[in-house]
């Protein structure tokens, strides 16, 4: 019989790989008999669901924006890159870095 400790490991692993048949059966039997581990299994599911929402929530939060400083920094860096590209374009025979 699996211990709760072993069952918890298998439950976690089952998210990343298909368990060998023997372990799968052992786990299923354990879950039939153990409230605590059934609770754990359900919580793993909730955790996974929340994690997925977590990313989406940040992605969709339009209040989150580049700070003015960051925006300025990036714009400047882009401007420099455009200039470098221009110079390189006008002097195709010369070597330029970056």
Partner 1 sequence: MTLHRKNSHDWLAEHGDYLYRYALARLRDEHLAEDAVQETLLAALQGSGFAGHSSPRTWLTGILKHKIIDQFRRQQREVALDAPDEVMDGEPGMDEFFREDGHWSEPPQAWGDPGSLVQQDQFLRILQGCLERLPEKLARLFVMREVVEWENEDICKELEISPTNSWVMLYRARMGLRKCIEMNWLEAH
Shortest separation between residue 21's beta carbon and partner 1, angstroms? 18
**Shortest separation between residue 49's beta carbon and partner 1, angstroms:** 9
What minimum distance in Å lies between the beta carbon of 64 and partner 1? Answer: 5
User: Which residues form the interface with partner 1 (CB under 8 A)?
Assistant: 3-6, 8-9, 12-13, 15-17, 35-36, 39-40, 43-44, 46-48, 50-62, 64-67, 70-71, 73-75, 77-79, 81-82, 85, 89
Alpha-carbon distance 36 to 13, whole Å?
18
């Amino acid at each position: 019989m699996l211990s709760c400790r072993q069952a918890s490991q298998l439950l976690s692993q089952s998210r990343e790989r298909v368990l060998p048949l023997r372990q799968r059966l052992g786990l299923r039997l354990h879950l039939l008999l153990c409230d605590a581990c059934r609770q754990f299994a359900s919580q793993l599911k909730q955790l996974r669901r929340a994690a997925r929402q977590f990313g989406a929530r940040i992605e969709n939060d339009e209040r989150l924006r580049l700070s003015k400083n960051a925006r300025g920094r990036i714009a400047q860096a882009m401007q420099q890159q455009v200039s470098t590209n221009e110079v390189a374009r006008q002097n195709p025979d010369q070597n330029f870095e970056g």
